[in-house]
Amino acid sequence: MAAPKKLRVGIFSFTGDEGCVITLLEALNYKFFEWKDKIDIVYARTLRSKNDASNLDLAFVEGAISAPAEEAKLREIRANSKVVVAIGTCAINGLPSAQRNNFPDGLKKEIQPLVQKLGQFERMKAPTEVVKVDEQVPGCPMLETGFVQVVEKYIAQMEVG
């Protein structure tokens, strides 16, 4: 008898404080036993030493995109995921991480050497500006109930389909 199908889930952090990942871990405190036979977290830098970002059912992304390498990684995630979910304000509109986009010109000039040294874009981007995002969970950090609703929506779809 074949093992029951599990959703392949990836959790990815870009430029931000990783508050949404902390919220996600908090949700697992009470959802783990309910979800353990339904989801397989195959990529999560904070949970695993070996990660696999291929053939994902759900990819959760947090943080703003600040550099070309992050943009390339996000495009790769999109290409390898059935559903991409932006979690938190940084992933939805770039803020607060992208505050520097709105700095006065003098301050932008002052930080320019650091931006160049770090290989960052002149203007930070939200993941929603870079790739198609299928779902959004707002908040800073994301709303735990919104995250749980999204996961349970796709668990239900998997069980029906």
Place 160 in a pLDDT band, splitting at 50, 70 and 90: confident
* Cis bond upstream, residue 4 (ω within 30): no
**What is the per-residue pLDDT across 47-94, written as a single tens digit (0 to 9) for each?**
878 899 999 999 999 999 999 999 999 999 999 999 999 999 999 999
CA distance 114 to 120: 9
Domains, in order of start, for the chain = 7-154 (3.40.50.700)
How are strands ordered across the β-sheet holding 81-87? Answer: 39-44, 7-13, 56-62, 81-87, 135-137
Mean pLDDT of 6-34: 94
**How much is the pTM?**
0.94
| 8: its two tokens | 């392949």
Distance between start and end Cα atoms, the chain: 19
Distance CA 141, CA 160 (A): 31
Average of per-residue pLDDT across 125-153: 97
Look at residue 48 in the predicted model and tell me its pLDDT: 77
Looking at residue 3, what is its pLDDT?
62
